[in-house]
Amino acid sequence: MSEFAFKARELDAGDELAARRAEFVLDEVVYLDGNSLGALPASVPGRVEDVVRRQWGELRIRSWEESGWWTAPERIGDRIAPLVGARAGQIVVGDSTSVNVFKALVGAVRLAGEGRDEILVDATTFPTDGYIAESAARLTGRTLRPVTPAQVPSALSDRTAAVLLNHVDYRTGRRHDLPGLTSAVHAAGALAVWDLCHSAGALPVGLDEHGVDLAVGCTYKYLNGGPGSPAYLYVRRDHQDRFDSPLPGWNSHAEPFGMRTEYAPAQGALRGRVGTPDILSMLALEAALDVWDGVSIEAVRTKSLALTDFFLECVAEYVPQGLVESLTPSAHEHRGSQVALRCDNAGEIMKQLIAQDIVGDFRHPDVLRFGFTPLYVRFTDVERAARALGEVITA
């Protein structure tokens, strides 16, 4: 047994989250793609069967009240809230991340008022956020200005209405300074909108603590909600009575069953609702969140950093120098929960790794991404993945 394989076993033996792995449906495949799609929590299939067979099959329409379908968006939002550092009553679940980015950004511009005519957007963002920001700018008559997160403080002015940023870069795994950038945005009199897709469930966010105005996130990555599971929208409590959603629907009406022709918004986070909730996927997500019961996000962060540190250490040992370049910052304060490696023939290398049951993913043109979900990834998985990477690259 190699030194690193022995160390991996020692680290697993001392892992306080090790028992959580048994709460997922897993095999001996090394699954390092939870930053794209989380593994299936073992409680979900039985819960979904009950939703389909009993709640839908037997109770039918009665389930909107008797099974709690109607209140699911805000109820599940309250379960997500502690994972992103928010108090109850500020998150509503529903729609896709893209739709929620649109609601949040247009809502932020409307909160900022008419005197501010510019939107800043993360130039390195996931493409959809950029597309949505461009459309929001056209819709609201604002100018869109793409900048890197590092450029935000110098780009802010009294023209800035809102700033849309990613907490963790989806390609490199770089963690941006949410507290510092939010503070800078507020000092300029603008609103901060954060995309938490690659951070929620992997590291502390602190939405309330840092005064974030609005935030969105998906639930199918580190929250393990399943493919296409609904996203969520956070609206800070003191903004809620003025939050003007660009997608007012009957579900966000103060009297949803009044069927009135005039729109009157509901109170609180419910203003973020639009249409009928997607109950099957929403209740699968609710079941998936059971794995977080009793889990501290600080403990998750501690293990995440230990996993990524150990992976980088193993890569340095197993991969000949100069064949891969880490795009992920070495400093903990700048790192999310993934490692991105640049190398030649990255697409082919990932195919060969997957053929050996080491599952990460490839991002064009030359990036290998490995995501580390602390609830179920083991240190022995990390060592095995790095060793296989070295073998494939040198073959």
pLDDT in tens, 7-35: 999 999 999 999 999 999 999 999 999 99
Catalytic annotation on 103?
no
The tens digit of pLDDT for each residue in 341-372 reads 999 999 999 999 999 999 999 999 999 999 99
Tell me, what's the pLDDT at 1? 74
Catalytic residue among 24, 31, 102, 220: 220
- Cα separation of 294 and 316, whole Å? 35
The tens digit of pLDDT for each residue in 121-151 reads 999 989 999 999 999 999 999 999 999 999 9
- Cα separation of 180 and 31, whole Å? 34
Catalytic annotation on 195?
yes
Tell me, what's the pLDDT at 204? 98
Residue 305 pLDDT exceeds 80: yes
- Cα separation of 208 and 16, whole Å? 27
Query: For the chain, what is the mean pLDDT?
Result: 97
The tens digit of pLDDT for each residue in 230-260 reads 999 999 999 999 999 999 999 999 999 999 9
Q: What is the mean pLDDT of residues 88-111?
A: 98
Catalytic residue among 33, 169, 195, 213: 195
Catalytic residue among 20, 116, 145, 369: 369
Q: What is the mean pLDDT of residues 28-56?
A: 98
Catalytic annotation on 102?
no
**Structure token pair of residue 280:** 């099957």
Catalytic residue among 4, 31, 102, 126: 126
Catalytic residue among 103, 116, 142, 221: 221
Catalytic annotation on 220?
yes
Contact criterion met (CB below 8 Å) for 80 and 291: no
The tens digit of pLDDT for each residue in 252-286 reads 999 999 999 999 999 999 999 999 999 999 999 99
Per-residue pLDDT band at 219 (split at 50, 70, 90) = very high
Tell me, what's the pLDDT at 125? 86
